[in-house]
A = this chain, B = another copy of it.
Amino acid sequence: MSASATKADPMDLSLDTLLCAYGADALTPTALVERLSDALDAYEEVDPAVWIYRIPKQDLLDRAKDLEAAAAENRGPLFGVPFAIKDNIDVAGLPSTMGCPEPLYTANKTSFAVQNLLDAGAILIGKTNLDQFATGLVGVRSPYGAPRCVFDGEYVSGGSSSGSAVAVAAGLATFSFGTDTAGSGRVPAGFNNIVGIKPTRGLLSTSGVFPANKTLDCLSIFALSAGDGDRIRRIAEGFDPEDPFSRAGDPAPLPLEKPRIGVPRADQLTFFGDGAAAELFDAAVVQAKALGWEVVNFDYEPFGATAKLLYGSAWVAERLAAVKPYLDRDLHPVTRQIIGGAGDYDAADAFEAIYAAQRLRTRCAEIAKDFDVILVPTSPTIYRVADVEADPIALNSNLGTYTNFVNLLDMAAVSVPAGFRANGLPFGVTLVGPGQSDGALAILADRLHRALHPRSGKHDAPLAAAPMTPDVGGDGLVTVCVVGAHLTGMPLNSQLTERNATLLETTRTAPDYRFYALADSVPPKPGLSRDPGFDGPGIEVELWQMPVEAFGGFVALIPQPLGIGTVTLADGRNVKGFICEPAGIATATEITNFGGWRAYRAAAA
């Protein structure tokens, strides 16, 4: 396969495409490695700055053979899936440079999250270029050259996870790990027409990841779709006792049907003169409304003030704490200027910075009561490599306008493609949700991606992944079947919505349910009663999903003779739902023939 053939015939490395091909024996890991090695070689000619270390082809083939040998017994969920990692992440036996001219060391242990991927059967392709010490949003602060935007070599790829973003956009890996402290996992996603997931802090262990701000650092994931990225996140995450900042997952829901979307007030949005970016962002807001989402304009001031803390206060000294042992190295001059300047802060300044962040958290939390997630441009604009080199700090800083606040506020974020400017450069938008909302946020991001520009990568190919669907019963969420006063529009529906419950579907019970109007119930309520063998119409029900932590409080509200038990649906599923004591049924009126509470109430009215 020649380089030109690679460009003409790009491989679709989407997760399901690969896994289906493997499952159907239409592809083997060995064959994948062969084709991918050619593509990797070919792209070196297009952009030689993507990789700091590529795994030798023979090692890739050995890994493929090992996976194939084990496949009969065990195929992991990432069997044969190629991925790249940013070169500030350790893999046993490989050099870790952090973007320095010489490796800082050869790692003797593989980072926790990468090990999770390898254990799942993924194939590591190599380690990618980055802004030195992950300090930068441009990708040009590296002795290994500046990876370029996959659409125009004059423009920056974004950073600091520059090579990792380009690798996925260029079709060289199904996904990649970046890191994201200030936006390094989002900005380059926006510049290369791919998805960038910045998980909640601590969900992915940072053991074996070289720190920038250790209290804020996250591993991030680049992929072609939010669905692919979210699946990777779930496989990579897990509590790691070796990482003091590791956190167990504790999924928080978001309303999926009509989320309230916070958009910064128009006078607070800046695009640094990039009118095309402003138009694309306006169009994204219009599309969000078209999805039925409610748009709420909010005061971005404290979010912007939080963003400024990251480099404009003693927080920058956290970077110095990490880099101190390497200050005698041949550092990139811009990196040295930024991190070296942190020495002027004393310990009291550090605590003052922590207080300032905490005060802003309180202010932002108050404002955030008005919306469920934030929608912002991923970056206000994009710059040419030459322009960044001429003005390296100010232009870099501009790129973080909408990303820097996220980790300080302990939030999660997903950047998705949002179309192209007339000049052929892509634009991204980011949804930012509360910490631990990762799963639900990815679903919203996937919907937005498909509404705005359902394509991705250098070839702007249509999304191969199917739209994400909510997990029923997974993720700490419980599905509750309601049949009466809790239905949409009925008097007790607020007991669901105030618990952040989400309507999943309207369906029917199995046919062996009889349905009754309870006597003397205020507000009027029905009772379901299973009568094995009875062949009725099935009763109309709604399935609502809520966090299991909120479910107990819901159950506690239910009065005699009702309770929560198990309801069998028409398709055979068993879900939690309303049941009724025999004493309630004994004095009730059968209304099975109405087929549901709504029809009965309409007839009764």
Chain A residues within CB distance 8 Å of chain B: 214-215, 241, 243-246, 314, 317-318, 320-321, 324, 342-343, 345-355, 358-359, 361-362, 366, 478, 529-532, 547-556, 558-566, 568, 574, 576, 579-583, 585
Contact = CB atoms under 8 A, between A and B. Distances in A.
Contact of A478 (B245, B358, B530, B552): B552
Contacts of A562: 565
A311 to B, nearest CB: 13
A568 B419 CA distance: 61
Contact of A563 (B347, B354, B579): B579
15 contacts: A241-B366, A314-B347, A318-B351, A342-B348, A343-B348, A345-B347, A350-B350, A532-B583, A549-B549, A551-B556, A555-B555, A558-B565, A560-B568, A562-B565, A580-B581
A543 B343 CA distance: 60
B583 A581 contact: no
Contact of A348 (B321, B531, B561): B321
Contacts of A581: 529-530, 565, 579-580, 582
Nearest to A360: B244
Given A346-B343, A347-B350, A576 B555 contact: yes
Contacts of A574: 560
Contacts of A215: 351, 354-355
Contacts of A320: 347-348
A467 to B, nearest CB: 27
By CB atoms of chain B within 10 A, which of A321, A560, A565 has the most? A565
A344 to B, nearest CB: 8
Contact of A347 (B347, B478, B560, B564): B347
B358 A244 contact: yes
A241 B349 CA distance: 23
Closest CB pairs A-B (n = 7): A563-B565, A551-B552, A317-B347, A350-B350, A345-B347, A321-B348, A244-B358
Nearest to A558: B565
Contacts of A246: 362
B556 A565 contact: no
Contacts of A355: 214-215, 244
Contacts of A579: 561, 563, 565, 579, 581
Q: Among A320, A349, A532, A552, which residue has the most Cβ atoms of chain B within 10 A?
A: A552
Nearest to A317: B347
B560 A321 contact: no
A219 to B, nearest CB: 18
A315 to B, nearest CB: 9
Given A532-B583, A550-B552, A563-B579, 13 more contacts: A243-B362, A244-B358, A244-B359, A317-B348, A317-B350, A345-B347, A346-B346, A350-B350, A530-B561, A530-B583, A531-B583, A560-B568, A580-B581
Given A317-B351, A347-B346, A352-B321, A566 B560 contact: yes
A244 B352 CA distance: 12
A529 B478 CA distance: 27
A320 B349 CA distance: 10
A361 B580 CA distance: 47
A170 B120 CA distance: 67
Nearest to A346: B346
Contact of A349 (B347, B478, B548): B347
B553 A548 contact: yes
Contacts of A345: 346-347
Contacts of A553: 548, 551-552
A236 B349 CA distance: 31
A491 to B, nearest CB: 19
A548 B559 contact: no
A358 B563 CA distance: 44
A351 B214 contact: yes
A190 B318 CA distance: 40
Contacts of A558: 565-566
A314 B350 contact: yes
A342 B351 CA distance: 12
A449 B78 CA distance: 57
A245 B365 CA distance: 13
Contacts of A531: 582-583
Given A347-B349, A348-B321, A350-B347, A245 B561 contact: no
A536 B354 CA distance: 64
B565 A318 contact: no
B350 A351 contact: yes
The interface centre, meaning the residue of A320, A348, A352 with most chain B CB atoms within 10 A of its CB, is A348
B317 A346 contact: yes
Which has the most chain B C-beta neighbours within 10 Å: A549, A574, A579? A579
Nearest to A211: B355
Contacts of A347: 314, 317-318, 320-321, 342, 345-347, 349-350, 353
A103 to B, nearest CB: 24
Nearest to A582: B582
